[in-house]
Amino acid sequence: MSDFVDRVTVHVKGGDGGNGSAGIRREKYKPLAGPNGGNGGDGGSVIFVADQNANSLMDYRFMPHRSAGNGTMGLGDTKDGSKGADLILPVPLGTVIFEAKGAEGKPKHPGEQLADLRHAGERYVAAAGGNGGLGNAALANRTRRAPGFALLGEPGEESDVILELKSIADVALVGFPSAGKSSLVAAMSAAKPKIADYPFTTLVPNLGVVMSGDYRYTIADVPGLIPGASQGKGLGLEFLRHIERTEIIAHVIDCATLEPDRDPLSDYYALEHELSQYADQLELPVAAIPIPERPRIIILNKVDVPEAKELAEFVRPEFERMGFAVFEISTASHEGLKELGFALGRMVDEMREEVAKREQERDEARVVIKPLERTGRRRADDEGGNGLDFSIVREEGGSGDFWFTVTGRKPERWVLQTNFDNDEAVGYLADRLAKLGVEDELRRLGAKPGDEIRIGRGNRAVEFDWDPTVAAGAEMLDGAQLGARGKDLRLEEQDTRARRRTNAERRRQYHDMMDAKAAVREAMMAERQAGHWADPSVDDDRHDEQAILGRGEDE
C-alpha cells in the first residue's frame, strides 16, 4: 500500500475555555471579605504549520479527528485557570486548506480556500480555542460589589477542513505512462522511485533533488497522463494538481514506444491539450505564472535504442521550430543527462527571478485598507441594515407560528457564557442584552410581550418568552427585594462608606427634621391652650387616686 496521501478531510476542534470561579474570600475575623473567584483558562487552538520535514498527509488519514487541550477552571484566591495546550499539526510545504462542504455523513468536497502554506513556518489557526469565563472577582465593580456568579467558558471552534497537497517542485516531468519519468528522477537525483516495465507503475508523485554544479533544484514525476485525464480518466486528474506550483514543464517523450498511432509529436499535442484543459479549472495564487506561459522543454528519451535515436533526430527540428529546447537522453546509459541538468538549472534560476519580481510588484501595488476607528458599538456597514452589533429577524414556521431570531457575535457569546441555573447570572445576561439595544430593536420590529425569542442558531440556540416588563437587575428572595444585583447587604452593613450621604441628602434630612420639630411645638401649644395640659403641683382632681397629690376622696 502506498505511503503517500495528498488529500484528506480532517475534523478539528479547539479546546473549551474553563469556567470562572464564584468564590468568596474567607479570613479569620473577616467572614465576608469580598469575592475572589479567578478566571478560567483559555482553550488551546488547532494550528497547521508548514514543515519541510513532512512529505505526506498519511497521518491525518488514519487519525482524522484532532482536538486541542481544554482550559482549566478558575480557583479561589483569584487564581486563574491554566491555558489549554495548542495542538501543532505539521503539514508538507504546498498544502492548501479548504473549507469542507457537504451534508453530514456524506463525502466532503472542497469549498472556500482558507490558507495556502507554501513556505516553511507558515501557520494557520484552523480552530481557535474558546475564551475562559470571568470569575466573580473580575465581574465586581462599584455598583456590583459582591457577584454571586461567574461566567462559563466558551466552547472552542469546531469545523471540518480538507487538506490538499500540491507539491512544490521547480520542474514537473509530464508524459505518457512508461515514458521513463521515474527512471529520469532516479538517474538525476538520489530518489529511489518504483520502476517497472508496465504502465501506471507510478501511483504517487515522486520528488527528487538535483545537484548540477552550483544549481540545486527539485523535480517532480507526475504519474502518467493519458487523453481525457483532465476529465478524470486514468490517474491524471488526481495528480495534475502537483504541477500547479512548478515553474518549468518538461515533456518526457518515449521515442521507443511500439504502440500504434503514437509518435513524439502526437504525444506532445495530447499532453498539451490535457494541460490546457486543466489550466482552465485552476485558480492560481497571486503572482503565480499561468501554466500556458510557463517555459517548456522537450526531453526525447530512450535514445539508447537505435530506432528511437533515429526517430529523435527526425522530430528534433520540428520541436526546435516551435521554439523549444530539445534534449536527447537515455536514462539507461545516462547519455545527455549532464547537459540536461545544467540547462534545467539555468531555466530554474531565470524563473525564480521572474517569480520574485512579480511578487515584489504585487507587494508594491498592494493597497492597505485600515478600518476606521470605532467610537461606539454601532456599525454603519452592518449587513442587517440597522448598524448594530447584532441582527434580529422575524421568522415563521409552517404551522403559522413565528419567532424572533437574534444573531450576532456578542449576544451568542453571552448566551454561551451564562449559567442558566443561577438567577443572578440570568439577570446579568438580561442587563447586557438590554444595554446592547436588543430590547429596543425588538420593540421596533413589533415584538410583543410573550413572543418567542431565540438567540443564536443550531444546537446552541436559546429560546425564551420575551417579558420586557420585568426588571433585569432585580433579585427577589421570599418576596423581599434585596436591591441591585451583585450587592450583599451584610457587606453594606459592615462598610461605613455605604452609608455616606450626599450634601443634597443632608440638606433634605435637616429640613425634614426642623419641620417635624416645628409641627410638634405647634401641636403641644394647641393642646395647652385647649386645657389638655395642667400644672402637676395643683391638685385639681381630688378623686383621682393616681394623681400625685390626689387624696382619692369620695364625693
Closest CA to 457 of 398, 378, 389, 391: 391
Q: Are residues 313 and 326 in the same domain?
A: yes
Closest CA to 210 of 190, 238, 182: 190
The answer to whether 299 and 344 are in contact (CB under 8 A) is: no
- Asked if residue 40 is part of any domain, the answer here is yes
- Asked if residue 31 is part of any domain, the answer here is yes
Q: Are residues 150 and 177 in the same domain?
A: no
The answer to whether 108 and 100 are in contact (CB under 8 A) is: yes
Residue ranges with strand state E in 235-309 = 248-254, 296-301
CA trace torsion 511, 514, 520, 521 (10° rounding): -140
The answer to whether 397 and 454 are in contact (CB under 8 A) is: no
The per-residue pLDDT for range 354-402, each reduced to its tens digit, is 877 877 777 676 666 655 444 333 333 333 444 457 888 888 877 778 8
- Asked if residue 501 is part of any domain, the answer here is no
| Rounded Cα–Cα distance for residues 486 and 496 (Å) | 18
CA angle (528 as vertex; 523, 532 as ends), nearest 5? 100
Residue 384's pLDDT is 40
- Asked if residue 470 is part of any domain, the answer here is yes
The answer to whether 475 and 482 are in contact (CB under 8 A) is: yes
User: Looking at residue 501, what DSSP letter applies?
Assistant: P
Domain final position from 165, 188, 223? 165
The residue length of the chain stands at 555
The answer to whether 110 and 162 are in contact (CB under 8 A) is: yes
Q: Are residues 179 and 198 in the same domain?
A: yes
Q: Are residues 186 and 322 in the same domain?
A: yes
CA 292 to chain centre: 36
Residue 534's pLDDT is 58
User: Looking at residue 245, what DSSP letter applies?
Assistant: T
Closest CA to 203 of 174, 246, 235, 171: 235
Q: Which residues are annotated as a binding site for Mg(2+)?
A: 182, 202
Give the 3-state DSSP-derived string for 420-433, with helices as H, strands as E and coil as C: CCCHHHHHHHHHHH
CATH number for the domain harbouring residue 227: 3.40.50.300
Residue 500's pLDDT is 67
CA 455 to chain centre: 20
Domain final position from 475, 490, 507? 475
How many helices (H) and strands (E) are present in the chain, helices listed first?
Answer: 12, 20
Domain final position from 134, 165, 196? 165
Q: Are residues 284 and 226 in the same domain?
A: yes
- Asked if residue 377 is part of any domain, the answer here is no
| Rounded Cα–Cα distance for residues 520 and 549 (Å) | 29
Q: Are residues 289 and 417 in the same domain?
A: no
For residue 234, is it left (φ>0), alpha (ψ between -120 and 50) or beta? left
Q: Are residues 136 and 37 in the same domain?
A: yes
- Give the residue ranges of the chain where pLDDT is below 50: 1-2, 198, 229-230, 232-237, 372-387, 470-484, 490, 497-498, 551-552, 554-555
Q: Are residues 414 and 324 in the same domain?
A: no
Q: Are residues 321 and 177 in the same domain?
A: yes
The answer to whether 135 and 38 are in contact (CB under 8 A) is: yes
β partners of residue 215: 212
Residue 476's pLDDT is 40
Residue with cell string 487552538:
45
β partners of residue 211: 216
Burial of 165 (0-12, 13-18, 19+ CB in 10 A): buried
Residue 409: give the domain boundaries.
391-475
Q: What is the phi/psi pair of residue 545, to 5°?
A: -70, -20
Q: Are residues 232 and 154 in the same domain?
A: no
User: Looking at residue 377, what DSSP letter applies?
Assistant: S
Quickly count: other Cβ atoms within 10 Å of residue 5's Cβ.
16
Q: Which residues are annotated as a binding site?
A: 175-182, 200-204, 221-224, 301-304, 330-332
- Asked if residue 489 is part of any domain, the answer here is no
Q: Are residues 127 and 174 in the same domain?
A: no
- Asked if residue 123 is part of any domain, the answer here is yes
Strand-strand pairing, 206-212 and 248-254? unpaired
Quickly count: other Cβ atoms within 10 Å of residue 52's Cβ.
12
CATH number for the domain harbouring residue 71: 2.70.210.12
Number of domains into which the chain is organized: 3
Q: Which residues are annotated as a binding site for GTP?
A: 175-182, 200-204, 221-224, 301-304, 330-332
Q: Are residues 141 and 254 in the same domain?
A: no
- Asked if residue 507 is part of any domain, the answer here is no
Quickly count: other Cβ atoms within 10 Å of residue 520's Cβ.
10
CATH number for the domain harbouring residue 430: 3.30.300.350
CA 182 to chain centre: 41
Find the distance separating the first CA and the last CA of the chain, reported in whole Å: 134
Closest CA to 178 of 62, 242, 124, 256: 256
| Rounded Cα–Cα distance for residues 71 and 491 (Å) | 32
The answer to whether 17 and 44 are in contact (CB under 8 A) is: no
| Rounded Cα–Cα distance for residues 253 and 325 (Å) | 13
For residue 447, is it left (φ>0), alpha (ψ between -120 and 50) or beta? beta
Residue 3's pLDDT is 54
The answer to whether 472 and 430 are in contact (CB under 8 A) is: yes
Q: What is the phi/psi pair of residue 130, to 5°?
A: -75, 150
Quickly count: other Cβ atoms within 10 Å of residue 494's Cβ.
13
The per-residue pLDDT for range 213-270, each reduced to its tens digit, is 888 888 878 765 655 544 544 444 455 666 777 788 888 888 887 777 778 888 888 8
